[in-house]
Amino acid sequence: DVKVTQSSRYLVKRTGEKVFLECVQDMDHENMFWYRQDPGLGLRLIYFSYDVKMKEKGDIPEGYSVSREKKERFSLILESASTNQTSMYLCASSPHVAGGSNTQYFGPGTRLTVL
Amino acid sequence: AQSVTQPDIHITVSEGASLELRCNYSYGATPYLFWYVQSPGQGLQLLLKYFSGDTLVQGIKGFEAEFKRSQSSFNLRKPSVHWSDAAEYFCAAGETGAGSYQLTFGKGTKLSVIP
């Protein structure tokens, strides 16, 4: 089974803190994704990466950055957390195959609260 | 622009009743199609996917979905709902073709089950 793990299930931080959310997958997938999920808004893509050291902006990258130094690990960074970044953060990975978008496998999510 | 629409925000059914969750997509060409389920506080789990071939797709937990090109729809069905099916359901679509990695998600349909 594909396993995607996220470093924390729940996290509470203060405004202005630097926050790191870590995601690790064990299936040698090339693609990794960070989403945030808010009630009524569904999943919104923040950033994705299709290879080590490669990154692409998603729909809502403002206030976030990412790092992918190793194939299995994709980190989401909030440089200076703000209260409007309180949300559920979901990481996903997918294999890179010819033909187009492939099945994404999700981690359990990190519920981040910024006070 | 590409989009996925789930017209029903919340559906309530009685245990044992049949279920149909609607999903419509707007893409230039027929996309890859997915249904995911999310239990409270959890990540998303893949129920089923359609890439090509038979338009009736079987998934896990007794779910099935039917692709109808003429209606741009990919509706999820289950003949008899169990209380454990209460969750949020997301339809997603992805482009076909090399270099496509992303999925577009609908905003979700929350399913409540009355005992």
pLDDT tens-place string over residues A38-97: 988 999 999 999 999 999 999 999 999 999 999 999 999 999 999 999 999 999 999 887
Q: Residue B66, Cβ neighbours under 10 Å: how many?
A: 16
| pLDDT on residue B2 | 85
Check CB contact of A95 with chain B, cutoff 8 Å.
Answer: no
Reported as a pLDDT band with limits 50, 70 and 90, residue B98 is low
Alpha-carbon distances of B90 from A27, A51, B83, rounded to whole Å: 23, 27, 18
Q: Residue B6, Cβ neighbours under 10 Å: how many?
A: 19
Chain B environment of A74 (Cβ under 8 Å): none
CATH code of B35's domain:
2.60.40.10
Check CB contact of B101 with chain A, cutoff 8 Å.
Answer: yes
Which of B31, B34, B43 has its CB closest to that of A103? Answer: B34
Domain residues for the domain of B8 are 3-114
Q: Residue B13, Cβ neighbours under 10 Å: how many?
A: 17
User: How many domains, chain B?
Assistant: 1
Q: Closest Cα partner for B60 from A96, A57, A81, A1?
A: A1
Chain A environment of B43 (Cβ under 8 Å): 4, 90, 106-109
| pLDDT on residue A17 | 97
DSSP summary character for residue B64: E
Class at the top of the CATH hierarchy for domain A4-97+104-114: mainly beta
Best mutation target, B96, B102, B107, B109, to test chain A (most A CBs within 10 A): B102
Q: Are B47 and B76 in contact (CB under 8 A)?
A: yes
Distance (Å) from the C-alpha of residue B10 to the closest C-alpha of chain A?
Answer: 11
Summarize pLDDT for B46-96 with one digit per residue, the tens. 999 998 889 999 999 999 999 999 999 999 999 999 999 999 999 999 988
Q: Are B84 and B115 in contact (CB under 8 A)?
A: no
